[in-house]
Amino acid sequence: MEIHLLGAIGLSANGTVLPLGSDRERCLLASLALDVGRPVARDVLAARLWDDEPPERARANLHTYISRLRRVIRESAAATGQRPEAAISLRAHSYTLDAEPEIIDWHRYLRLADEARAAAESAAGAPDEPDRDRAAHKEAAALALFKQADGLWSGEALSGLPGVWAQAARTSMAERRLTATHARVELLMRQRQFADAVSELTELSELHPMDETLTRHLMVALYGSGRHADALAVYQRVRRLLRDRLGTDPGERLAHTHGLVLRQVPLTDLVPGLRPEAPSGPSPSAPGPRNLPRRQRLVGRTSELGRLLAESTGGSAGPVITIEAISGMAGVGKSTLALHAAYRLGDRFPDAQIFIDLHAHSVTRAPLTPAAGLVALLRAFGIPPTGIPHDLQERTALWRTVLTGKRAVIVLDDAQNSEQVAPLLPDDSDSLILITSRRRLTELPSARPVFVDVLPLDDAVDLFRRLVGTERAGDTDKIKAVVERCALLPLAVEIVASRFKARPSWNLDHLLERLSREPGRLREIRDGHQEMAAAFEMSYNALTTPQRAAFRRLSLHPGPDFGAHAAASIIGEPLDRTERLIEDLLDCHLLQEPRANRYRFHDLLAEYAMLLAESEGRANTDAFLRLVEHALRTADSADRWLRPHRSRLDLPAPARDVCTPAFADADEAHAWVVEEMECLLAVEQRARRLGHTAEAAWLAHVLAEFADSEGYWPEAVDMHRAAADHWHTAASPHAEAWALLALAGVHARASRYPLSAEAAEHALALARACSDRPSTAEALNQLGVLHWHVSEYDAAVTILKEALALRGDDPWNRARTFNNMAITYLHMGDHKNALDSFSRASHDLHLSGDRRLEGKLLSNMGDLHRRAGATESARSAYQEALALSADSGSENDRAVIRMNIAGTMRIPAELDTAVEFYASSLAVFRRLGDRKNETSALNGLGTVYRTAGRHTEAAIHHDAALRLARELGVGDDEAAALRGLGLAAAAAGQYDRARAHLEEAAALALRIGVPEEEALACEALAQLLHDEGRQEEARGLWQRALTLFEPFNNVAAERIWERVIEFDQNRSRAWRREA
C-alpha cells in the first residue's frame, strides 16, 4: 500500500488507486499521514477539516470520516492479500496513523533528500586525487538520490485540496522541497553541470521571482554556462522587483554574488568545492588594470612614505588614505608621494593600480563631478559605457560592487573637496585609496590624514643639488637661501634649479638676488599660493615682452596640447617667430614638450598664466577667436584633401589672419586630423561655452566627417545638436538641415535608429522647404539606409531610388547611393539588381576616385560573392578592401572587413584565426558603440564555434546576438541568431527547442524578405525533420530552400538538389519493395 501526498491525495495498492469520497476524507488522510506515528488531537483534526469553524456534530462527523478511511485501508490490504500496512488508532482523544513512514511518498522523499544532502556534504572539499575520486562517486550517488526523490512528485503537494490548513501545509512542503532543490543545484554546479542547473532554476525563479537564494544560484549557473550578461540581467530584474514591490534592495549575499559576477572572478570563488575541469593546458590570468603615470623624482618624504607603506597592511576593511597639503598648497609633492607609494605597494595590491585625475585645479578642464569620477573609475576597471548606470546612486553601488573583494591601489589625484570624493570611496574593501587634495578632507571620517608639509630644508637642498649638479651647487648656505626663497616647495625648487642649470653664466649670488627682487613674489594666488607665485614670477619676469605675451596667450588653448601653427594663431605672430618663442619658453621650463613638436603647460603654470591673462578680456577673446579660425580653416583644408567630393556649406570669408599648415597630400592631412582631433573638439566645446555659437556651428560642420570616421560619436552628438540649435535660432534652415543630417549619421553609427530617423526626417522637411537638391538627396539616402538597418528593404529601395533621382551630375554621391541600393538588393536576394547597382557604383566611383568608398564597395562586393557561394572570390575582395582601408579607411571600416574575412575562413582548419578576427572586430564595435555590427560579430562567432562542434559556445554567442538584435530591431540579424540557436540546440539533442527556433527564423526571414536567411533556416529545419523521420515534410522544406537559393547561390542550390534527388530515389526504392 502507498499513501500519496505529492500530487493528488490518495491510496493505492499494487498500482491500483483506491477512491476517497470527499475533500474532507482526503484532508483527514493527509493530516494523519503528514504526522505518521504521532497522535493528532481530534480538535486539531476538526480545525483542519473545517477551517477552524467545526460544526456542532464535528466529533461524530470526524468519526464517520475515520471509519471510511479505515475501510479503504482494509480494502487495500485485501487487494494485496497481505496484512494491512497501516491502521488508524484512537488514544487519549487523538488519532494516530500507525504505519511505516516509507509507505507515504512525502516521508520517503524526505529520507531520500536527507541521504542525498548527507552524501553531497561528505563529498565536498576533497583536495587530494584519491579523495577526489571517492568524492566524485559520492556526488554521483547524491544526484541519483535527489533524482529518485524528485521522481516521487507528480504535481503540487496536496493537489486540489482546499482549506487554510491545506494551503499552509502545501507551502511548508514546497519550502522544504525548495531547500532540497538548492542543495541539488549546488551539487550540479560543483560538478559543472551548469546548463542543467539553469534549466531548472529558470523555471523555479518564475515561480519564486523574489527568492534571493534562487536568484543567486541562477546567476552562478548562468555565469558558469558562460552567459555573463544573462547573469547580470537576472540580478537587475530581481533588483527592480524588490524595489517596486517591497521598496528594498537585494540582500548582502545576493549583492556580493552580483559583484563577483560583475568582476568575472574565477568560478571557484562562486562555487565552493567546484570540481576541476579536464586539463587543457595552462591559461595564464590577465593582469589587472594598471595606468599609473611615470614616477617623478622623490627626494625625502621618508616618514610619510614609510607611514603609507606600514598602514597599508591594515585589516580587511581597506585603508582610505588622504594626502593633504598645507591650506591646499600646490606643488608640495602630493602626487609624487602618492605615485611612489602606489608603485611600492603594487605587490600587496595585485588586482589593479589605478590613477584618476579629478581635475580640481585643472585650467583646461572643469573638476570631475562625482558622476564623471565614477565613470572614469568604472571604465578603468573595464566596465563598458553601456554597462554604466545613469543614476548616481546606482553608479556608486556598481563601483562599490566592482571593488568588493579586490586588492587594488587607487590614486584619486587633485580632489576638490569631500563631496567630490565621497561617492568614489568603497564601504568595505581590501583596497587602498590614496587621495591627494589641496584641501583638508576632514568630512571623510574614514580617511586617515597624512599631512604633507613643505620639504625639510636639507631635503630641499638635496633636491636642488641633484637637479643642478654639485659643481655649481657647492655652497650649502647659499643653496639654503635659494630654496627658502622657493618656500621649500618641490615644484618651485625644480623650476628655479632648472633655470639656473640652463644659464651657465649665473652663479648662486645672482640667482638669489633675482629671487629677492622687489616687488618680488606675488602676494597671493588663490588658496594661499603666494609662495608658489614667487617661483613663477621669477621665471615670468625673466621673459621678454613678446615671451610674456606668448606665455599668457598660450594658456587660452583648451586642448591637452598644441602644435606650432595653433600657437602662432593664438599668439598672433608668424610661424617662425612663434617657434622661437616656444623654444624660449621650453628653455625656461615654462612649457613642456611631451613628444616632438607638441607642447603643453604644467597645470600649475597654466593656472598662473591664465591668472595673468585674466585682465586682458578683449585681447583674450581675439586670441581665442584666432584659434577658432585656425581650427576651422585648417580642418576645412584637411577635409577637402580627404573628402574632396563631400557636400559642404560655403564657409564665410576669413575674419582674421591665422597661421595654417599647407598639406602636401591626403596622408599629411589625415595625420594632422588624427593628431589634432581632441584639440579641435575642445576648441569647438569652449567656443560653444563662451557663446561663440556661430563659430562653433561652422566648426561642427567641418569636423562632421572626421568625428564620424575617427569614432568620436558621443562628442559629435552634442556638437551637431548644438549646431542645429544655432542654425535654427539664426533662421538658416539650409545649414540646419546639414547639421541635422550630421546628427542623424552619428546616431545611426551608434545604432540609435529612432533618434537617427527623427533627425533625418526633420532635415528632409527643411531641405525640401529650401528646394535644395543635395541636402534633400542626402536626407533620403540616410533614411533609405536606416530602413535597411531595420530590415525594411522595400521601403529602403523606394527611398534610395528617390535619392538617386536627385543626385544629378554628382558621381561620388551617386556611387554612395548605388552602393547602398546594391546592399539592400543583396539582402533581398535580388542578386541581379544588386550586381547592376554595384556596377553602376563602380563606374561612378572610378570618376570620383575615393579610395575609402572604393574599399567599402569592394567589401560589399565580397558579400555578393559570399552569398553566391563563391567563398574564395569573396575572400579576395575582402582582402583587397582591407589593404585599401589601411590608408584611407576608419578603424570601424577595418573592423567590418576583418569580420567579413573571418566569415570566409575554413573551419576547423582556421578556427583560431577566425575567432581572433571576430573577437578583435567585436572589441572595436563595442568600444565605438556600433551595436548593429556587434550583433553581426556575435552571430559570426556563434557560427564558427558551431561549425567547429563547440555548440555551447555557439549558443551563448547566438543568444547574445538575438537579444541585441531584438533590442535594436534588426530583423536579419535576429533571424540569423534564431537559426544559429536552432542548429546549436539540434546538435545538443534539444529537438523541440531547435524546431521552434528554426521555424521562427524561417517565418521572420519570410516576413522581412530575406530569402537567403529563409533558405538556410528551411534547409536546417528540413534536416531536423528528416532525422526525426518526417520525410515528406523534410522534402517540402528542401524544395522551398532550393527554390529560394536557385536565383543567386548555385553552390547551395546544388547541395540541396542532391539531397532532394537522394530522397526521391530512396522513396522510389521503398515503393518498389512494397509493390
User: pLDDT tens-digit profile of 417-452?
Assistant: 888 888 888 776 778 889 888 666 777 767 777 777
Q: What is the pLDDT of residues 174-194, one digit of tens each?
A: 889 988 988 888 888 888 888
d(CA 189, CA 185): 6
C-alpha cell at 588: 625656461
Among 534-548, 574-588, 936-950, 958-972, which is the least confidently predicted range? 534-548
Q: What is the H or E stretch that residue 88 is in?
A: strand 86-91
d(CA 1075, CA 1073): 5
List the beta bridge partners of residue 104: 3
Those residues whose C-beta lies under 8 Å from the C-beta of residue 551, and which sit 6 or more positions away, are 540, 543, 585, 590, 609, 612
d(CA 150, CA 113): 9
d(CA 842, CA 150): 67
- The verdict on domain 1-191 having CATH code 3.40.50.1100 is no
d(CA 825, CA 823): 5
Residue of 673, 675, 741 whose CA lies nearest to 707? 673
Residues 88, 66: contact at Cβ < 8 Å?
Answer: yes
Checking 117-123 for CB contacts under 8 A at 24+ apart, the result is 117/142, 117/180, 117/183, 119/145, 120/183, 120/186, 120/187, 120/190, 123/273
List the beta bridge partners of residue 98: 87
Q: How crowded is residue 417: how many other Cβ atoms within 10 Å of its Cβ?
A: 17
C-alpha cell at 119: 552524501
Residues 601, 593: contact at Cβ < 8 Å?
Answer: no
Q: What is the H or E stretch that residue 848 is in?
A: helix 831-848
Q: Name the fold adopted by 302-452.
A: Rossmann fold (3.40.50)
C-alpha cell at 41: 488531537
Residue with cell string 539533442? 989
Greater pLDDT, 600 or 274: 600
Using alpha carbons only, give the angle 889, 890, 892 rounded to the nearest 5 degrees: 125
Tell me what pLDDT residue 282 has: 37
Q: What is the pLDDT of residues 843-888, one digit of tens each?
A: 888 877 777 788 888 898 998 888 888 889 999 999 988 888 877 6
d(CA 531, CA 488): 9
Mean pLDDT of the chain: 84
Give residue 288's pLDDT band: very low, low, confident or very high (50, 70, 90): low
Those residues whose C-beta lies under 8 Å from the C-beta of residue 910, and which sit 6 or more positions away, are none
Report how far apart, in Å, the C-alpha atoms of 298 and of each of 330, 462, 633, 889 are.
16, 11, 45, 45
- What single DSSP character describes residue 767? H
Give residue 529's pLDDT band: very low, low, confident or very high (50, 70, 90): very low
Tell me what pLDDT residue 5 has: 93
DSSP assignment of 404-447: TT--EEEEEEEE--HHHHGGGS-SS-S-EEEEEESS--TT-TTE
Residue of 999, 1008, 1056, 1060 whose CA lies nearest to 869? 1056
3-class SS at 1041? helix
Q: What is the 3-state secondary structure (H, E, C) of 549-565?
A: HHHHHHCCCCCCCECHH
3-class SS at 32? helix
As a whole number, mean pLDDT of residues 229-243 equals 85
Whether residue 704 is predicted with pLDDT greater than 90 in this model: the reply is yes
Sign of the alpha-carbon dihedral angle for 972, 978, 981, 982:
negative
Whether residue 302 is predicted with pLDDT greater than 90 in this model: the reply is no
Give residue 124's pLDDT band: very low, low, confident or very high (50, 70, 90): low
Whether residue 755 is predicted with pLDDT greater than 80 in this model: the reply is yes
Tell me what pLDDT residue 80 has: 66
As a whole number, mean pLDDT of residues 87-108 equals 89
Greater pLDDT, 135 or 103: 103
d(CA 1064, CA 1070): 10
Report how far apart, in Å, the C-alpha atoms of 421 and of each of 394, 411, 431, 433, 1028 are.
16, 11, 16, 11, 64
Residues 467, 497: contact at Cβ < 8 Å?
Answer: yes
Q: Which CATH number is correct for 905-1074, 3.40.50.300, 1.10.10.10, 3.40.50.2300, 1.25.40.10?
A: 1.25.40.10
Among 110-114, 208-212, 307-311, 518-522, which is the least confidently predicted range? 518-522
Give residue 610's pLDDT band: very low, low, confident or very high (50, 70, 90): confident
Q: What is the pLDDT of residues 633-684, one digit of tens each?
A: 999 999 999 888 888 899 999 888 899 999 999 889 988 998 999 999 999 9
Residue of 349, 382, 352, 344 whose CA lies nearest to 289? 352
Greater pLDDT, 766 or 328: 766
As a whole number, mean pLDDT of residues 22-40 equals 91
Tell me what pLDDT residue 439 has: 65
Tell me what pLDDT residue 325 has: 30
Give residue 957's pLDDT band: very low, low, confident or very high (50, 70, 90): very high
Give residue 127's pLDDT band: very low, low, confident or very high (50, 70, 90): very low
In 849-910, where does DSSP find H-type helix? 851-867, 871-888, 891-902
Tell me what pLDDT residue 681 has: 94
As a whole number, mean pLDDT of residues 247-255 equals 89
Tell me what pLDDT residue 523 has: 35
Whether residue 553 is predicted with pLDDT greater than 50 in this model: the reply is yes
Whether residue 311 is predicted with pLDDT greater than 90 in this model: the reply is no
Amino acid, single-letter form, for residue 1038:
W
3-class SS at 242? helix
Cβ neighbourhood burial of 238 (10 Å; 0-12, 13-18, 19+): buried
The phi and psi torsions of 879 (rounded to 5 degrees) equal: -65, -35
Checking 246-250 for CB contacts under 8 A at 24+ apart, the result is 246/210, 250/212, 250/215
C-alpha cell at 840: 553602376
Give residue 568's pLDDT band: very low, low, confident or very high (50, 70, 90): very high
Give residue 322's pLDDT band: very low, low, confident or very high (50, 70, 90): very low
Among 359-363, 615-619, 835-839, 1030-1034, which is the least confidently predicted range? 359-363
Residue with cell string 530602413? 787
Among 363-377, 815-829, 919-933, 1007-1021, which is the least confidently predicted range? 363-377
Give residue 561's pLDDT band: very low, low, confident or very high (50, 70, 90): very high
Q: What is the pLDDT of residues 1009-1064, one digit of tens each?
A: 888 889 999 999 998 988 888 888 888 898 898 888 888 777 778 888 888 887 77
Residue with cell string 562555487? 271
Whether residue 522 is predicted with pLDDT greater than 50 in this model: the reply is no
As a whole number, mean pLDDT of residues 126-142 equals 67
3-class SS at 355? strand
C-alpha cell at 37: 506515528
Give residue 917's pLDDT band: very low, low, confident or very high (50, 70, 90): very high
Greater pLDDT, 942 or 237: 942
Among 43-47, 67-71, 384-388, 512-516, which is the least confidently predicted range? 384-388
In 22-104, where does DSSP find H-type helix? 23-34, 42-49, 58-80
As a whole number, mean pLDDT of residues 235-255 equals 87
d(CA 555, CA 552): 6
